[in-house]
Amino acid sequence: MNDTAAILDATDPLAAFRQEFHLPSGPDGQPGTYLCGNSLGLLPKTARAAVEREFASWEARGVEGHFLGPSPWLHYHETLTDATARLVGARPLEVVVMNTLTVNLHLLLVTFYRPTATRYKVLMEGGAFPSDQYALESQARLHGLNPDDVIVELMPRPGEHTLRTEDIEAKIVELGDSLATIIIGGVNYYTGQAFDMAAITRAGHAVGAMVGFDLAHAAGNIELHLHDWDVDFACWCTYKYLNSGPGGTSGVFIHERFAEQPDLVRLAGWWGHDAAARFQMKKGFQPMPGAAGWQLSCGQIFPMAIHAASLAIVERAGGIAALRRKSEQLTARLESHIRALNLPASKLEIITPADPAQRGCQLSLLVHERGRELFDFLVAQGIIGDWREPNVIRLAPVPLYNSFADVDRVGAALRQFFGE
């Protein structure tokens, strides 16, 4: 490398944020090199105090914590709205934090997958995360349909690992009037490919389909402009790039065009009811405007407190645009280390797109020989990545807590393993 990691880390405007997270220790007891934020982000040091504040409120006030204290629980979810909207490129009316990811996906599909006798197909990427596959299978059965007749999976061209935008658009045109809903992962969990969500949305709307995205691997990783892209709906988890804890809460986006449509089919719950009349306890569901009208139950205060602490860090770091700038640098440096090995594709391939616009911070390595041996070697060196059967290693240098020195340690370990 022409520029040393020490210089890059010394001039990195986000370098100090590394100190705001608890870094797992490696085998030598020193902080490890954690490149697994695409699976579970690290613990913010402010999270414990954020939860303790809510414990203290519960201890001191009991049920009155819903109405009293510095952050009354009745409105706690609302304190997350503005930062969430900025994170995903939305208007505050279009977002709400609630539930967990697959729960929210099901809630959204109840509204945005309304098959008819002729328009009933669902388009998704082949090899989507299993939760999405299972959700769509069960949604098809909910309507009395055979999932094999409903779900159309997009597959890469022979010899390729990722999808081409033109092939996605062509499939949408081919399905035409039979296509009811598109639901694609904004960033594919396995390959790390970031899809052109604006182009997919345009193509879907052109044939009359609803278009949504599972942003589990995109939120907090890449810049999103959900409102401007005209996306109909989206959901995401917060425990990966948003560092909000295992099983943490989820976010939902529903475009404002649906904000004042109370007759939309949905599953209703008390917390989505008109807030002004909520405590009148009367029959007859009247949804709140916007995404909040899809809420079911009162907020999960402790997971939301962790999420609030994490969102505050993102905001202080300059938002997703600042994170993305460093992310591109880290990922490019990691890619350079791997390509410098000059290994034949028969041994190791990077299956994540080389174009920065088509990926986040994750690089997926398809290791054809000694894959598990390589993964175990990295772990022994204190480098924590992610193993996916049968032979893929995912490495994700996350800009909030990974350094350029971390990336160089991975490069040195790879050279050692391959005898370079």
pLDDT band with cut points at 50, 70 and 90 for residue 24 = very high
The answer to whether 106 and 139 are in contact (CB under 8 A) is yes
Percent of the chain with pLDDT over 70: 99
The fourth-level CATH superfamily of domain 5-43+321-417 is Aspartate Aminotransferase, domain 1 (3.90.1150.10)
The answer to whether 59 and 52 are in contact (CB under 8 A) is no
3-12, 209-218, 326-335: lowest mean pLDDT where? 3-12
23-37, 380-394, 405-419: lowest mean pLDDT where? 23-37
pLDDT at residue 2, as a whole number: 57
Q: Residue 82: which of 67, 98, 97, 64 has the closest Cα?
A: 97
**0.95 exceeded by pTM:** yes
Average pLDDT over residues 5-18: 96
Average pLDDT over residues 62-68: 96
| pLDDT, averaged across the chain | 96
Structure tokens at 260: 């004042």
Task: Write the CB contacts of 345 (distance below 8 Å, at least 6 apart in sequence).
Answer: none
Q: Which amino acid is at 149?
A: D
Is the predicted pLDDT of residue 164 greater than 60, yes or no?
A: yes
Q: How many residues does the chain have?
A: 420
CA distance linking residue 26 with residue 121, whole number of Å:
48
Compute and round to an integer the Cα radius of gyration of the chain.
Answer: 22
- Please determine, looking at this structure, whether the domain spanning 71-314 carries the CATH number 3.10.450.30: no
Q: Residue 415: which of 331, 363, 337, 344 has the closest Cα?
A: 337
Q: How many helices (H) and strands (E) does the chain have?
A: 13, 15
pLDDT at residue 77, as a whole number: 97
Sign of CA dihedral 270, 275, 280, 282: negative
Is the predicted pLDDT of residue 136 greater than 70, yes or no?
A: yes
Give the pLDDT confidence of 234-288 residue by residue, as tens digits. 999 999 999 999 999 999 999 999 999 999 999 999 999 999 999 899 999 999 9
Q: Residue 260: phi, psi to the nearest 5?
A: -115, 45
CA distance linking residue 99 with residue 247, whole number of Å:
10
pLDDT band with cut points at 50, 70 and 90 for residue 420 = low
CA distance linking residue 206 with residue 202, whole number of Å:
6
CA distance linking residue 293 with residue 94, whole number of Å:
10
pLDDT at residue 1, as a whole number: 53
Q: In the chain, where are the structural domains located?
A: 5-43+321-417, 71-314
